[in-house]
Structure 1
Amino acid sequence: MKKYIVLAYAIFLGTSVLAQEVRIGVRGGFGLANQRVERGLLLDTKSRFSWQIGGEANIAVDDMIAIHPALVLSSRGTRIKGSDFGVDYHIRYRPLYLHVPIPVVARMDIGGMDVFGGLGPYFSLGLGGQIVADGGVLGLGVNGDTSIDWGNDNSDNFRSLDAGLVFTAGVVWNGLQFALAYDLGLANIAPNGDDDNIVRNRVFTLTTTYFLPN
């Protein structure tokens, strides 16, 4: 995790010196979140609806390169659904993160639109969330929910720190940005995780950012 933080600091330090223009905006979006979960074998997880809201900067380094750092609240997680020994179950993991993507993008002007694409690191800190479970036994419904426990003990649900790569592409037109992004989690967020106990975040998002006038 330390090497990711050093990389992020280097990016911000470099862009603060080289930036030609900085624009600040309000960002929101939605998408599909999932997790790659391995417990010796790869589990069959399902995607769930996710959302995010916060702020974003567009830092122009030159006419072809920009940095798009953001600070957003982001819902993530996964769903596990199945049936074992006559018991149907549906478990929804709904963690909430403070999410900081820092993509470096190449950009060009096409027909008056700023078209961009690139990648960079992301960092996330778990803040809260819930686990919601329901199911049935012999036609009788069973349900409940509990708060997510963050930490690295066997009794916890997830490690609080996450990091990975974000891939993004989109357009900026008339003060509005429309972007697609995919977060590829590289950190193992399973408590006491090892090669036989792996959880990594995977999130696809569609976002819109309104940049405030300079």
Structure 2
Amino acid sequence: MKTKLLYLLFIAAPCFVSKTQAQTFTAKAGLNLANVKENGGGLNLDYDMKPGLHLGLAAELPINNWLAIEPALLFNQKGAKFNNNLFGTKVDASIKMDYLDIPVNLKVSQKMENDMRIFATAGPYLGIGLAGKVKANAGGQTVDEKITWGSDEDSMYKRLEAGATFGAGVEINMIQLGISYDLGLSNTSAVTDDGYSSKNRILRFSVGYRFGKN
């Protein structure tokens, strides 16, 4: 149901945009600080943030002078790190996941002096798992495996993810500086024994360049 609703939002979004307003595009890239939130399963680990990258392209479809719809395509690196003692054994592990995320944000902006504009965004996103790897070293034993995607018991993670994203930033001329937070809402783990769930979290810092007709 969540996935169907997101698809409807993506398809319907441009219909709400006034054709009299000009469209612009923003190429963006930056730093991710990713983590995961675990629940259930009898083993909840305290993960550390894992640095990663993101890059993509967003379109700004104005509704009026201060409100717009902003769909985007974003390559996003997610995951987490763990470096601690577990049952008396030193464990050093990392999860790296590459996603193609499709957010559709509602963007509110206000023009200030000296060609500066401040903005805030919020909306849903759909994530599609592309590739990933799990690495671990515990007690001299090493694991280095590619992530398997699916919903069956032989898979590690589900390929589709749904969540919400929130952000804010400033534009100076055509340069955009932003900060955003992705809140994964769907369980990405294919293993759900004892109610186990894993949800992605990302704190993202972006630099963008806006182009197109204003």
Percent identity over paired residues? 28
- Counterpart CA distance in 2 for 1:198 and 1:150 is 15
CA gap of 1:146–1:40, structure 2 versus 1, over 3 A, is closer
**Alignment correspondent of 2:117:** 114
Partner of 1:172: 171
CA distance in 2, matches of 1:201, 1:76: 7
Matched residue type, 1:205: R
Query: Could you state the TM-score of these two structures normalised by the residue count of structure 1?
Result: 0.89
Distance (Å, rounded) in 2 between the aligned partners of 1:23 and 1:89 = 47
Q: Shift of residue 80 of structure 1?
A: 2.5
- Partner Cα distance (1:196, 1:98) in 2: 27
SS at 2:23 equivalent: strand
Secondary structure of 2:152's aligned partner? coil
Alignment of 1:1-214 (within 5 A): 1-15=3-17, 17-18=18-19, 20-41=21-42, 42-111=44-113, 112-135=115-138, 137=139, 141-191=140-190, 193=192, 196-214=195-213
With over 3 angstroms needed to count, the CA separation of the structure-2 counterparts of 1:193 and 1:7, relative to structure 1, is: farther
Secondary structure of 2:145's aligned partner: strand
Q: TM-score, normalised by structure 2?
A: 0.89
Instruction: Give the SS at the match of 2:190.
Output: coil
Q: Secondary structure at the match of 2:31?
A: strand
Tell me: CA distance 1:85–1:171, structure 2 relative to 1, closer, same or farther (3 Å): closer
Query: In 2 relative to 1, CA 6–193 (structure 1 residues): closer, same or farther, beyond 3 Å?
Result: farther
CA shift in 2, pair 1:195/1:20, >3 Å: farther
**Greater alpha carbon shift after TM alignment, 155-164 vs 192-201:** 192-201
Over 6 Å off, 4+ runs: none
In the alignment, structure 1 segments of 5+ residues that lack a partner are none
| Closer, same or farther: CA 49–150 of 1 in aligned 2, 3 Å | same
Q: What SS does the corresponding residue of 1:189 show, helix, strand or coil?
A: coil
- The CA distance in 1 between the partners of 2:77 and 2:53, in whole Å, is 6
